[in-house]
């Protein structure tokens, strides 16, 4: 069983699903990396290595560093929950979460009281799914740290703080995934016109 399937079945927010439902959902997304069944789900997600020029970090290190940054440096952001693969944060009346994921199976079920930013791989199927599903893109954002690209149409101050944190602490800038932006323009969802 691949990492995305194990991850989905282990997550209580996904709920019970039949093997047929799981197989159909997995086919709708890009294949997740990491098929080592001896490694636990959290270990796989946290251990994903990110290489930026002269520095190498793991997704888990970044999540923990941002949790510490929020707790110690940001007076207006409250750490509500900090688990191995999930960070829930509050800013004023807004609640958002940042999660590490191996795959995107049933990702629409992961947003709770507020939007969720999933740190994972972004592939062509993810771009198409987010372009085609307004409800999904209104609750879930994706961030591929290896490519420094995002699929995001969600409003969340916490996500902006996270991007500023990556810029200020690690010297990296996140850009919008070009196919997603192009698709939004082609469908008339957004306009990049001047004036």
The residues, any chain, with a CB within 8 Å of residue 30's CB and separated by 6 or more, are 104, 121, 122, 123, 124, 125, 126
Give the model's pLDDT for residue 138.
93
pLDDT band (50, 70, 90) for residue 31: confident
Report pLDDT digits (tens) over 107-151: 999 988 799 999 999 999 999 999 999 999 999 999 999 999 999
| d(C-alpha 44, C-alpha 35), whole Å | 9
Mean pLDDT of 40-58: 91
User: What's the whole-model pTM score?
Assistant: 0.91
Environment class of residue 131 by beta-carbon count within 10 Å: exposed (0-12), middle (13-18) or buried (19+)? buried
Residue 36 pLDDT > 60, yes or no?
no
- Smallest CA-to-CA distance from 56 within 153, 168, 146 is with 146
Nearest to 182 by CA among 142, 117, 127, 120: 127
Task: For the chain, give every domain's residue range.
Answer: 3-186
Q: Is the dihedral of CA 69, 71, 73, 77 positive or negative?
A: positive
Task: Calculate mean pLDDT across residues 73-87.
Answer: 95
Q: Say yes or no to pLDDT of 61 above 70.
A: yes
């Amino acid at each position: 069983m691949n990492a995305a399937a194990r991850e989905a079945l282990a997550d209580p927010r996904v709920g019970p699903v039949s093997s047929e439902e799981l197989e159909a959902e997995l086919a709708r997304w890009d294949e997740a990396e990491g098929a080592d069944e001896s490694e636990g789900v959290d270990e796989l997600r946290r251990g994903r290595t990110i290489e930026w020029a002269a520095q190498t970090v793991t997704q888990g290190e970044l999540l923990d560093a941002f949790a510490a940054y929020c707790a110690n440096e940001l007076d207006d952001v409250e750490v509500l929950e900090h688990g191995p693969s999930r960070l829930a944060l509050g800013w004023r009346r807004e609640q958002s979460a940042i999660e590490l994921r191996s795959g995107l199976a049933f990702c629409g079920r992961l947003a709770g009281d507020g939007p969720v930013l999933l740190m994972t791989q972004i592939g062509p199927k993810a771009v198409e799914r987010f372009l085609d599903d307004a409800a999904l893109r209104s609750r879930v954002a994706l961030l591929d740290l290896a490519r420094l690209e995002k699929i995001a149409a969600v409003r969340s101050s916490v996500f902006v703080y996270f991007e500023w944190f990556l810029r200020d602490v690690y010297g990296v800038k996140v850009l919008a995934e070009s196919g997603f932006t192009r698709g939004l323009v082609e469908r008339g969802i957004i306009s990049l016109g001047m004036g």
